[in-house]
Chain A
Amino acid sequence: MRADLIRLYKTLHTWTGIIAGLALFIAFYAGALTVFKEPLARWVAPPVTTLSVPLADTPALIARTLAAQPTAARDFQITLNPDAANPQRLTWQDHPGHGEEHDSLGAHHYAATLAADGSARIETTQPSQLTELIDILHRVVGLPFDNDITRAVMGVICMLYSLALVSGVILVLPTLARDFFAMRISPNLKRMWMDTHNVVGLISLPFHIVMAITAVVFAYHDGIYALQNKLFHNGNLSATWAGAKAQHTPPRNPADLLPPTELLSRSHGIAPDFVPTSLQYVQVLGPRPTVRIWGHDDSSLSPRAMGGFVALDPYSGKVLSTDFLPGRQSAANTTLASFFALHFGTFGGSVVSAMYFLLALAGAWLFYSGNLLWIESRRKGGRKANQKGINKEGQQSPPTATQRRDVRALANATVGVCLGCVAGISLTIVAGRWLYGHVTDLNAWHWYVYYAVFLASIAWAFWRGTARAAVELLWFATAVTLAIPLTSLACMLGLLPGPWALTDASGVDFTAFGGALALAWMARATTQRVRHGEAGSIWSALPEEAKAGKKPGA
């Protein structure tokens, strides 16, 4: 391959990585946590104290709820196994205002139970949106809203990410045979980081290709469909989705709905391995009533993040569609579903979940290390340029002082953004239990806590300088992450007043404990480097004057 071509792709790799790297770190770190969305939701939700309506009474509950609140018929859900995160049997939401479907935070949540006299009692609920916060950070690279604009920003970031991937592969290709698995553990730390960056990138390349393509699709699919609708579907695309025209039907009576147990036995008859989790009733009073039985099948891939479903007619029990039923899809539908499953890791059960968690963390590390490599080479380039008056490209180098300021700024931003994101998420998880009952709008506080930590960490990094801030923020992240299992320990010992008294530890606590250990190890290693590393390094905590004093002699 031509050397100048490789140099061009090297520049492309560098700059796309620098522009997109920090946003991608947040997307990947938060994305790793969304793999364990359900355990996290259970961790932060208060334990259930009231009994939910028995499944056998659900037909009466549905009929009386719809009589009292007909708008619920648009879309409501029956939870089959109520737990801490979803304690209510019958729930629905409405989206006031412009009805933006991605705006999950603005939704009003309702739940219905049966009162003692048999009537429906409807209440508004405030389910914890902690996992939604983490998911939004993941979906729109750390921005606080998921709307058309932030999704477009995310799309641009992901296009840069795809360019960084392709150019990164082109860069390592010429020396692939020699350098693959060549981990030069040597005093040359930069060489070692570079080798690790390359090997982690290459090993997880298939994962990253999948993520880059699916993420750009998720960002722009509405626009692409709209254009294709004009160009190729003659404006008939919505009719294509809707399928056959509905027949005229007499008014529906909710009392005629088949009981959930009957619907479940139908789905069991179609797919014995499919484990249903909830029933979603859509337009049950309209001309095309549907019930989607959602669930999981670990022996097959799930077409959506929350699993798959079989669609039945809730009155007759007739199967309307198995297009989204894991293991019962046509080849074409399975292919389409695999694009989603490959992004969400919803295939192969908990082994794949754990793998996706680790791959996403490795991805986050890839962006962090990429930035650090840029900083290190910039620093050296700057010093050489200082001696020779030219830099590697053979062009006139800019004054060393400004270059150093750029490098320092990026180094500070890298440390502040990455560690601020880690610490912010950990602390907002912990806040879910400590602030419960003490603030009126806990879901808003989740955002306040996250952004307070995130922005303060960035400010701290710029105030203290990279080297000192890295050590301090790493210890801070360690402390707030360790606070997750410690909070659970306090609950087990009955020290935390409130509903969690005497709850058990969960996988979240063990994972957080492991994460805290890893952060502590990084904090120790960074301390070493800050104290004993090269004086010219960005990682040196030597005072500025000392560095400046050395420069003329260097």
Chain B
Amino acid sequence: MTEAPSSTSSSRAGPIRRDWLAKSLAGVFAGFTFAMGCSGLLLAALGSFPPPLRAQFAMWLVVPVWLGVLASCFATRSGLRAWLWLGGGNLAVYALLAILHRL
């Protein structure tokens, strides 16, 4: 933990842009679709569970993932990066789901 002023501490990576709107929207919307995708993967992983239990676990997974992603979004260096990270995450999750669906 360095207490250096922001101008030197951020010399390598550039300052963290605040981008409140872009980061919030990324967390709320792309974060939600990402969390939904994760719940789809959980449903696939819990294939041997009784259906009502799988459905409940999948529902409960969405919110913690969503909130976790939303809070982490603000740690990205810019709003654009938040969208890129989450876009990539969404792509990966839904691609995996599509592959599982084909199998």
**A residues within 8 Å of B by Cβ?**
1-5, 7-9, 11-12, 159, 162-163, 166-167, 174, 212-213, 216-217, 220-221, 224-225, 227-228, 231-233, 237, 240-241, 243, 332-333, 335-336, 339
Partner of A336 from B57, B62, B64 at Cβ < 8 Å? B57
Q: Are B1 and A1 in contact (CB under 8 A)?
A: yes
Residues of chain B within 8 A of A4, CB atoms compared:
6, 9-10, 15-16
Residues of chain A within 8 A of B40, CB atoms compared:
228, 231-232
Q: Are B71 and A333 in contact (CB under 8 A)?
A: no
Give the residue name and chain of the B residue nearest to A9 (CB): B74
**12 examples of A-B residue contacts, CB within 8 angstroms:** A2-B10, A2-B16, A3-B6, A159-B28, A159-B70, A166-B71, A216-B63, A217-B63, A220-B63, A224-B62, A228-B39, A228-B43
Partner of B63 from A213, A237, A332 at Cβ < 8 Å? A213
Indicate whether B22 reaches chain A with its CB closer than 8 angstroms.
Answer: no
**Given A9-B75, A228-B58, 16 more pairs with CB closer than 8 A:** A2-B2, A2-B9, A3-B9, A4-B16, A8-B16, A8-B18, A159-B28, A159-B70, A167-B74, A212-B67, A213-B63, A216-B66, A217-B60, A221-B59, A225-B55, A233-B55
CA of A33 to CA of B15, assembled, Å: 46
CA of A7 to CA of B7, assembled, Å: 13
* Closest CB in chain A relative to B38 CB, distance in Å: 11
Chain B residue total in the interface (Cβ 8 A) = 36
* Closest CB in chain B relative to A323 CB, distance in Å: 8
Q: Are A159 and B6 in contact (CB under 8 A)?
A: no
Indicate whether B36 reaches chain A with its CB closer than 8 angstroms.
Answer: yes
CA of A213 to CA of B28, assembled, Å: 15
Residues of chain B within 8 A of A231, CB atoms compared:
36, 40
Give the residue name and chain of the A residue nearest to B42 (CB): A232
Given contacts A2-B9, A213-B64, contact A224 B52 (CB under 8 A): no
Closest 4 CB pairs of A and B: A166-B71, A4-B6, A162-B67, A240-B51
Q: Are A12 and B36 in contact (CB under 8 A)?
A: no
Contact with A along B41-58 (1 / 0, CB 8 A): 001000001111101111
Give the residue name and chain of the A residue nearest to B44 (CB): A232
CA of A212 to CA of B66, assembled, Å: 12
List which B44-103 residues lie within 8 A (CB) of chain A: 49-53, 55-60, 62-64, 66-67, 70-71, 74-75
Q: Are B59 and A224 in contact (CB under 8 A)?
A: yes
Indicate whether B4 reaches chain A with its CB closer than 8 angstroms.
Answer: yes
Residues of chain A within 8 A of B5, CB atoms compared:
3
* Closest CB in chain B relative to A213 CB, distance in Å: 5
* Closest CB in chain A relative to B54 CB, distance in Å: 9
In terms of DSSP, what is the predominant structure of the interface of chain A? Answer: helix
Which of B2, B5, B63, B67: most chain A CB closer than 10 A?
B63
Q: Are B36 and A228 in contact (CB under 8 A)?
A: yes
CA of A12 to CA of B9, assembled, Å: 21
Which of B4, B49, B56, B70: most chain A CB closer than 10 A?
B56
Q: Are A12 and B74 in contact (CB under 8 A)?
A: yes
Given contacts A3-B9, A167-B71, A227-B36, contact A240 B59 (CB under 8 A): no
CA of A4 to CA of B35, assembled, Å: 28
Q: Are B53 and A333 in contact (CB under 8 A)?
A: yes
Give the residue name and chain of the B residue nearest to A222 (CB): B59
Q: Are B43 and A232 in contact (CB under 8 A)?
A: yes
**B residues within 8 Å of A by Cβ?**
1-6, 9-10, 15-16, 18, 28, 36, 39-40, 43, 49-53, 55-60, 62-64, 66-67, 70-71, 74-75
CA of A332 to CA of B57, assembled, Å: 9
Given contacts A8-B74, A212-B67, contact A336 B18 (CB under 8 A): no
Residues of chain B within 8 A of A12, CB atoms compared:
74
Residues of chain A within 8 A of B6, CB atoms compared:
3-4, 7
Residues of chain B within 8 A of A11, CB atoms compared:
18
* Closest CB in chain A relative to B61 CB, distance in Å: 10
Residues of chain B within 8 A of A335, CB atoms compared:
57
CA of A246 to CA of B3, assembled, Å: 68
Give the residue name and chain of the B residue nearest to A173 (CB): B1
Given contacts A213-B63, A332-B57, contact A232 B39 (CB under 8 A): yes
Given contacts A4-B10, A332-B49, contact A228 B59 (CB under 8 A): yes
CA of A12 to CA of B10, assembled, Å: 20
Q: Are B70 and A241 in contact (CB under 8 A)?
A: no
* Closest CB in chain A relative to B62 CB, distance in Å: 5
Which of A9, A159, A224, A227: most chain B CB closer than 10 A?
A224
Residues of chain B within 8 A of A339, CB atoms compared:
60
* Closest CB in chain A relative to B5 CB, distance in Å: 7
* Closest CB in chain B relative to A258 CB, distance in Å: 27
* Closest CB in chain B relative to A201 CB, distance in Å: 16
Give the residue name and chain of the A residue nearest to B56 (CB): A336
* Closest CB in chain B relative to A146 CB, distance in Å: 19
* Closest CB in chain B relative to A18 CB, distance in Å: 14
Residues of chain B within 8 A of A213, CB atoms compared:
63-64, 67
Q: Are B70 and A3 in contact (CB under 8 A)?
A: no
Residues of chain A within 8 A of B9, CB atoms compared:
2-4
Give the residue name and chain of the B residue nearest to A155 (CB): B63
Residues of chain A within 8 A of B18, CB atoms compared:
8, 11
Residues of chain A within 8 A of B64, CB atoms compared:
213
CA of A335 to CA of B40, assembled, Å: 19
Give the residue name and chain of the A residue nearest to B3 (CB): A3
Q: Are A5 and B16 in contact (CB under 8 A)?
A: yes
Q: Are B59 and A3 in contact (CB under 8 A)?
A: no
CA of A221 to CA of B59, assembled, Å: 7
CA of A11 to CA of B71, assembled, Å: 13
CA of A212 to CA of B64, assembled, Å: 9
CA of A135 to CA of B50, assembled, Å: 33
* Closest CB in chain A relative to B66 CB, distance in Å: 8
Give the residue name and chain of the A residue nearest to B43 (CB): A232
Residues of chain A within 8 A of B63, CB atoms compared:
213, 216-217, 220, 224
CA of A231 to CA of B55, assembled, Å: 12
